[in-house]
Amino acid sequence: MSGVSFADVEAAAARLAGHAVVTPLIESPALSERIGARVLIKPETLQRVGAFKFRGAYNRLAQLSADERTRGVVAFSSGNHAQGVALAARLLGVPAIIVMPSDAPAIKVAATKAYGAQVRLYDRLRESREEIANAIAKENGSVVVPSFDDPAIIAGQGTVGLELVRQAQAAGGALDVVLTPISGGGLIAGISLAVKALSPATAIWGVEPAAYDDTRRSLEAGERVTLKPEARSLCDALESPAPGALTFPIMQRNLSGAVGVTDAEVAEAMRYAFTTLKLVVEPGGCVGLAALLTAKVKPPAGGTVGLVVSGGNVDPDLFAKAIRGEI
Amino acid sequence: MSGVSFADVEAAAARLAGHAVVTPLIESPALSERIGARVLIKPETLQRVGAFKFRGAYNRLAQLSADERTRGVVAFSSGNHAQGVALAARLLGVPAIIVMPSDAPAIKVAATKAYGAQVRLYDRLRESREEIANAIAKENGSVVVPSFDDPAIIAGQGTVGLELVRQAQAAGGALDVVLTPISGGGLIAGISLAVKALSPATAIWGVEPAAYDDTRRSLEAGERVTLKPEARSLCDALESPAPGALTFPIMQRNLSGAVGVTDAEVAEAMRYAFTTLKLVVEPGGCVGLAALLTAKVKPPAGGTVGLVVSGGNVDPDLFAKAIRGEI
């Protein structure tokens, strides 16, 4: 019993219709030629707020009661979930307070404020974001919106998978493999519910930063492993130290496995996305592409791959360094 | 009598099927909100070679006789046409020599070579690319492939318009305005043939660098005006000094007008494309977006705009400068 089902993903899709962008599938003959398989890119960079996170946030906030809407929501996030909650809250007329680390990418903090949310910065090393958020929620009577371990969040992110399978079918491609970034697992868990319901033979692989490979370790151990990484990852969006309590059993059931990619491999993938795909992708959004380019995940020759590119919110300075080969 | 008709565009589409990418339509709620109209982006950045030029080149080369294919083709171009001809030639097994200025963007020269073409660099200030190309053609008996003033090139580029109108209709949008970059006029002339055939009420506006506004001046003068600009434009792809003999009468018939945008406005549009659209766009590909953002072309409030974003081949250093606000 996972607490969330394919029917929840379908219900989320109905709630999101007309509010979220149905992102297109993109094909690059150059990439497909290089990989030796047809690669169908699902660019959530083109989603509202520049990342898939809007889907889950909107799906969660749309289900608040009238009373809850008045009292508002609080969330903690280093960036993309923050923006997703902030914009969903604005569209639904709900006050939002977002707790963000003081070293979050400036572009993500600025965008969150621009969507009308109140931002409370905290010191990542000295303060607990959970405690801050819970204190705010208690004081205001507001609802905490988790970034991944919540049935409505998982179901909302799952609409990426629903669209991907249907668009691939419309493009004449039966998906052999789907590749998706993993942080806490909300995106891949949701996607896996849709993919396994509509295309059971498709293998689903998760990709995470090598320094934050908690999901790979957890899947191998058969139980949730919590990391205490000492270093930051280039992928600011993928620094979850452990899979979620809700997402992990779904991943155990549906994933073929998970692999880790290094910062250097991610930077190379960002350059490839710039040079060849002409897409602006943030580090965490690039891990699936990195896994393909390094053949850490090898699709069957001549097969079809669904590649989820999850976000494009990257500071200009970091992007400039990546495309100049300075990372 | 223009020498090229809508039927030629339809024939080009049949020739390109399965070879060119049918680029998607992209919608950004943030952009549409800012402009006050629904903006449907046609990103030819996602086309093979990163620009629409592949369409015209392939359409032209696919019509070579067996004998002509053996003798090969020669073209002169600062970049995107070079890559389009080089790749079309490789796909069709035709030898290609491309005459490129020695100060063309390095990324475009490298890509042209990577597609298997032989590159002959020339000095833009001291040599005539036409003379060099004609000498090569005479020596080898090869066919010169013009970059815009050719019926097959115009018809091939016109397939952008064919797709745009049909995709807009499928998305429920009747196009009030179409915005397209202009250099020699091959792209906008071709697009205008398709748009005026399928959606006669749509207004078509061209956008060019303010320093290379030969089309605006020519349309106002009622005859082809040739500029002798002293400065380079940021838009290396749009430095044609005069409209074409074939393209100009088509533009006279079908365009509502043309406007110029400055380098600073183009750089600002590149930043917007990076920050909000998450698209990598080269300077020349951004002029339509610049015209929208500056309200130099103002669509009817609540109307629908088709925005052609023509290419994304930009050197990393220039792109880094643009997104850092150093241009």
With tokens 């988790």, the residue in question is A146
Q: Are the Cβ atoms of B26 and A48 closer than 8 angstroms?
A: no
* Mutation to test the A interface, candidates B278, B319, B327, most A Cβ within 10 Å: B278
Indicate if the pLDDT at residue B2 is higher than 60. no
Identity of the amino acid at A107: I
Indicate if the pLDDT at residue B326 is higher than 50. yes
Contacts of residue B303, Cβ cutoff 8 Å, sequence gap at least 6: B37, B38, B176, B177
Indicate if the pLDDT at residue B243 is higher than 80. yes
* Mutation to test the B interface, candidates A115, A280, A313, most B Cβ within 10 Å: A280
User: B188 burial class (0-12, 13-18, 19+ CB within 10 angstroms)?
Assistant: buried
Give chain B's mean pLDDT. Answer: 95
Considering only CB atoms, B319 lies closest to which of A107, A281, A323, namely: A323
Three-state DSSP at B293 gives helix
Mean pLDDT computed over B158-181: 97
Identity of the amino acid at B289: L
Which chain B residues are within 8 Å of A278, Cβ to Cβ?
A: 43, 45-46, 50, 279-281, 312
Residues 73-112 of B with CB under 8 A from A: 107
C-beta of residue A22 within 8 angstroms of C-beta of residue A55: no
Q: Distance between alpha carbon A226 and the CA centroid of its chain, in Å?
A: 19
Q: How many A-B residue pairs are in contact by the CB < 8 A criterion?
A: 74
- β-strands B304-309, B177-181 pairing: parallel
Residues 13-32 of B with CB under 8 A from A: 21, 24-30
In degrees, rounded to 5, the angle at the alpha carbon of residue A230 between the alpha carbons of residues A228 and A235 is: 95
- The domain spans of chain A are 6-51+150-323, 54-144
d(CA A241, CA A245): 13
Question: To the nearest whole angstrom, how far is the Cα of A2 from the nearest Cα of chain B?
Answer: 34
Contacts of residue B314, Cβ cutoff 8 Å, sequence gap at least 6: B105, B107, B270, B280, B281, B282, B283
Q: Are the Cβ atoms of B46 and A278 closer than 8 angstroms?
A: yes
For A68-123, the pLDDT digits (tens) are 999 999 999 878 999 999 999 999 999 999 999 998 888 889 989 999 999 999 99
Three-state DSSP at A38 gives strand
Question: To the nearest whole angstrom, how far is the Cα of A274 from the nearest Cα of chain B?
Answer: 7
Question: To the nearest whole angstrom, how far is the Cα of A28 from the nearest Cα of chain B?
Answer: 7
Q: Quote the ipTM score.
A: 0.95
End-to-end CA distance of chain B: 43
Predicted confidence at residue A153, as pLDDT, reads: 98
For A226-238, the pLDDT digits (tens) are 998 778 889 988 8
Least confident residue range of A221-225, B96-100, B226-230: B226-230
Indicate if the pLDDT at residue A38 is higher than 60. yes
Indicate if the pLDDT at residue B17 is higher than 70. yes
Predicted confidence at residue A183, as pLDDT, reads: 95
Indicate if the pLDDT at residue A327 is higher than 80. yes
Which candidate, B2, B30, B312, B216, places its Cα nearest to that of A28?
B312
A6-51+150-323, what's its fold?
Rossmann fold (3.40.50)
Percent of chain A with pLDDT over 90: 89
Residues 196-215 of B with CB under 8 A from A: none
Q: What CATH number was assigned to the domain covering residues A54-144?
A: 3.40.50.1100
Same fold, B6-51+150-323 and B54-144: yes
Mean pLDDT computed over A127-135: 91
In degrees, rounded to 5, the angle at the alpha carbon of residue A313 between the alpha carbons of residues A243 and A235 is: 40
Predicted confidence at residue B237, as pLDDT, reads: 86
Catalytic residues of B: 53, 310
Question: To the nearest whole angstrom, how far is the Cα of A279 from the nearest Cα of chain B?
Answer: 5
pTM of the model: 0.96
Q: Are the Cβ atoms of B24 and A28 closer than 8 angstroms?
A: no
Which chain A residues are within 8 Å of B324, Cβ to Cβ?
A: 316-317, 320
Percent of chain B with pLDDT over 70: 99
Indicate if the pLDDT at residue B1 is higher than 60. no
Question: To the nearest whole angstrom, how far is the Cα of B242 from the nearest Cα of chain A?
Answer: 29
Considering only CB atoms, B320 lies closest to which of A43, A312, A320, namely: A320
And the tokens for A266? 């991610």
Report yes or no: B285 at the A interface, CB cutoff 8 Å: no
Q: Could you give the C-alpha distances from A32 to A39, A40, A306, B317, in angstroms and in order?
A: 5, 9, 11, 27
Which chain B residues are within 8 Å of A107, Cβ to Cβ?
A: 275
Question: To the nearest whole angstrom, how far is the Cα of B142 from the nearest Cα of chain A?
Answer: 28
For A151-167, the pLDDT digits (tens) are 999 999 999 999 999 99
Which candidate, B251, B112, B249, places its Cα nearest to that of B181?
B251
Predicted confidence at residue A2, as pLDDT, reads: 52
Identity of the amino acid at B292: L
Report yes or no: A309 at the B interface, CB cutoff 8 Å: no
Which candidate, A125, A73, A135, A136, places its Cα nearest to that of A102?
A125
For A1-34, the pLDDT digits (tens) are 458 999 999 999 999 999 999 999 999 999 999 9
Considering only CB atoms, B280 lies closest to which of A48, A280, A317, namely: A280
Residues 214-243 of A with CB under 8 A from B: none
Report yes or no: A275 at the B interface, CB cutoff 8 Å: yes
With tokens 């990709």, the residue in question is A207
Q: Which residues of A250-270 are buried (b: 16+ CB within 10 A; e: fewer)?
A: bbbebbeebbbbebebbbbbb
Give chain A's mean pLDDT. Answer: 95
Mean pLDDT computed over A285-300: 98
d(CA B229, CA B54): 28
Mean pLDDT computed over B284-311: 98
For A186-201, the pLDDT digits (tens) are 999 999 999 999 999 9
